[in-house]
A and B are shown apart, each in its own frame.
Chain A
Amino acid sequence: MLWLALAIVATLWTFPLAQSQSRDSARRVPVRFPPSRSTVTLPGQVTGYDVIDYVIPARAQRQLTVRLITPSRFLTMAVYGPNENEICVDTCGDRWSGAISRPGDYIVRVGLSRAEARRNRPARFQLRVTLTSK
Chain B
Amino acid sequence: MPDGTRWTLALAKAPTTGASAVTAAQDGLAPGIQASRTMAQKDLARVMKIADVFREVGTALDVPPPLIAAVSSRESRCGSVLDAKGFGDHGHAFGILQIDARFHTPQGVDKGPACREHIEQAARILLDFRNQVRAKHPDWEDEFVLKGSVAAYNAGVSNIQTKLGIDKGTTGDDYGSDVIARAQFYSDKV
Give the interface of A toward B (CB within 8 A).
18-23, 26, 49, 51, 72-76, 78, 84, 86, 89-91, 93-94, 109, 111, 113-118
Contact = CB atoms under 8 A, between A and B. Distances in A.
Given A51-B102, A76-B103, A78-B103, A113 B154 contact: yes
Given A73-B158, A114-B89, A117-B92, 12 more contacts: A18-B90, A22-B100, A26-B102, A74-B158, A84-B105, A90-B103, A90-B129, A90-B157, A93-B158, A109-B103, A114-B100, A118-B89
Interface string B79-108: 000010101011111000010111111000
A119 to B, nearest CB: 9
A21 B32 CA distance: 36
Contacts of A19: 85, 87, 91
Contacts of B175: 115
B159 A113 contact: yes
- Tell me what chain A mostly uses at the interface: helix, strand, loop, or mixed: mixed
Nearest to A20: B91
A18 B89 CA distance: 10
B169 A90 contact: no
A18 B90 CA distance: 7
B102 A49 contact: yes
B125 interface: yes
Contact of A73 (B83, B92, B93, B159): B159
B171 interface: yes
